[in-house]
Amino acid sequence: MGNAAVDLRMSVQEFLAWDATQSQKHEFVGGEVFAMAGAEDRHVTASGNLYVALRQHLRGTPCRAFMSDMKLFVAAKEIFYYPDVFVTCGAADRTSPLIKSEAVFIAEVLSPSTAAYDRGAKFAAYRELPTLTEYLLVDLDTRRCDAFRKGADGLWVLHPFDAGQAVRLDSVGLDIAAEELFAEVDLPRVQSSAQPN
């Protein structure tokens, strides 16, 4: 998961009461509490770029974009996550200032320590959200994106976007250019295997 497990097991209600007293963010998965690790600047910049594009695009609509400081509750699994970026359009979420549960779109920016979890167990949990129709994975190193969209048949289909391609977000009707999504996101530093002379 990339986050450090805290030696605590508790119910949803106990977690919410305890978490309200904490200065650090924690995710809650299956009764276990995980401290959230900080992210590198490339991760934060890409997340911010996507959030800004969504925020501007959704202005004047019932939908709202959120970043990683907002809790998302997956009720079917009793999980609280902090997605990098997500959009909710539900009436219940508009009246809930601290926790959202009706995401239609979720994006996770991949890092080496979380990529497998984001693609696997986390995506499986997110699929339990009845409102979710699109899940985007943003790979900073390859500059590729994978959008998974839920079809009318309930099946999730991969829509890959290569480096340099605009990313189409059907759930919110937005096309975001690669240059906009990756603006001011540095390329990874290549580790040289050559020995100094």
- Cβ neighbours of residue 118 closer than 8 Å, sequence gap 6 or more: 108, 110, 137
- Which pLDDT does position 113 carry in this prediction? 84
Q: How confident is the model at residue 103 (pLDDT cuts 50, 70, 90)?
A: very high
More confident residue, 79 or 1: 79
89-96: average pLDDT: 96
pLDDT in tens, 44-81: 999 999 999 999 999 999 999 999 999 999 999 999 99
pTM for the structure as a whole:
0.88
CA-CA distance, 53 to 92, in Å (whole number)?
24
pLDDT in tens, 117-129: 999 999 999 999 9
Does residue 22 have a pLDDT over 90? no
Contact call for residues 65 and 55 (beta carbons, < 8 A): yes
pLDDT reported for residue 3: 53
Q: Is the backbone of residue 184 left (phi > 0), alpha (psi -120 to 50) or beta?
A: left
Share of the chain above pLDDT 70, in %: 91
Residue 112: the pLDDT is 86
**Residue spans per domain, the chain:** 39-181
pLDDT tens per residue across span 31-48:
888 887 767 899 999 999
pLDDT at residue 1, rounded to an integer: 44
CATH architecture of 39-181: Alpha-Beta Complex (3.90)
Percent of the chain topping pLDDT 90: 71
DSSP E strand boundaries for 89-169: 99-100, 103-110, 134-139, 144-150, 156-161, 167-169
Give me the residue label for tokens 């805290």: 6
Q: What is the Cβ-side half-sphere exposure of residue 37, based on CA atoms within 13 angstroms?
A: 12
| pLDDT at residue 192 greater than cutoff 50 | no
